[in-house]
Amino acid sequence: MPVERAQLGSAPIPRRYLMCEPRHFEVRYAINPWMNPGTPVDPELARGQWQTLVETYRAHGHTVETVAPVAGLPDMVFAANAALVLDGKVFGSSFHAPERQPESAAYAAWFKEAGYDVHPAESVCEGEGDLVPAGRYVLAGTGFRTQRTAHREVQEFFGRPVISLDLVDPRFYHLDTALFFLGPEPGEDGGTGEGNIAYYPAAFSPGSREALRRLYPDAVIATEEDALAFGLNSVSDGRHVFVAPQALDLIDRLVHRGYVPVPVDLSEFRKAGGGIKCCTQEIRS
């Protein structure tokens, strides 16, 4: 049974995360359906929710490092979009929206100071927003932001098979709003197999849905309500799932599979189309 597999085989793996304080966070422009420049943001609430996420990660044994926010870059808090870091290598981002393009240099400077070489993307590519490492694969979204040509760049750079997935619902403009990786399944050697995912099928084209069904026949399926609550913009350490508390059905399904949901409310960031994963860049050695 899936519950037994999860309970017996999954264990939390200490992670290293990079995050950016929402000192300048606001909804100044609209580059996705969630954003309305007329929507007021509560800066104190946003900072408090972000700090709670940082403290929650640390309380569960994970390392959190921070990059300095830059004035005039309100979306810099969404650190996941800045790069994909895998096998100790950094594939930098090239943002679609002109408003976010300066973020690439700010994050690249942090990585270089930390001792990493940064490979700049030649095509539009928005980091972990559309690139999800999943065991032996990298799942890669396209349709609204990251270009399919970037998927080829990622495969050549990391030498890992990249599986392209077409997003078709503009509300789920990044892959990390419609899917997240739960972790390796029990019995897989060091996470080298396919592992398992949670996702919302209607966010994907028919062919992409079929590909996901074949790859992950035991996936956790989210409802539309879960997805709209940014429940799939979650972070898993293989045991704990840091998840939006509003995604009630998804939380129940995770518990049934033996995972431990850790609800963290980042509702203020939903005004800009972001959530837990959007604020979290993972540094994978």
Catalytic residues: 174, 278
Reduced DSSP (H G I as helix, E B as strand, rest coil) percent helix, strand, coil of the chain, to 5: 35, 20, 40
How would you class 113 by CB atoms within 10 Å of its CB: exposed for 0-12, middle for 13-18, buried for 19 or more? exposed
User: Tokens 């994907």 correspond to what residue?
Assistant: 204
Rounded to an integer, what distance in angstroms lies between the CA atom of residue 244 and that of residue 263? 5
Alpha carbon 248 to chain centroid, angstroms: 19
Beta bridge partners of 262: 242
Tell me if residue 82 falls in helix, strand or coil: helix
With residue 190 as reference, give the H or E element that holds it. Answer: none
Q: Is 186 in contact with 9 (CB distance < 8 Å)?
A: yes
For residue 160, give both structure tokens.
């890992």
| C-alpha triplet 32, 147, 216: angle, nearest 5° | 90
- In the DSSP assignment, the letter for residue 121 is -
Rounded to an integer, what distance in angstroms lies between the CA atom of residue 90 and that of residue 136? 17
Q: Is 99 in contact with 72 (CB distance < 8 Å)?
A: no
Q: Is 132 in contact with 176 (CB distance < 8 Å)?
A: yes
Neighbours of 249 (CB within 10 A): 15
Rounded to an integer, what distance in angstroms lies between the CA atom of residue 13 and that of residue 192? 15
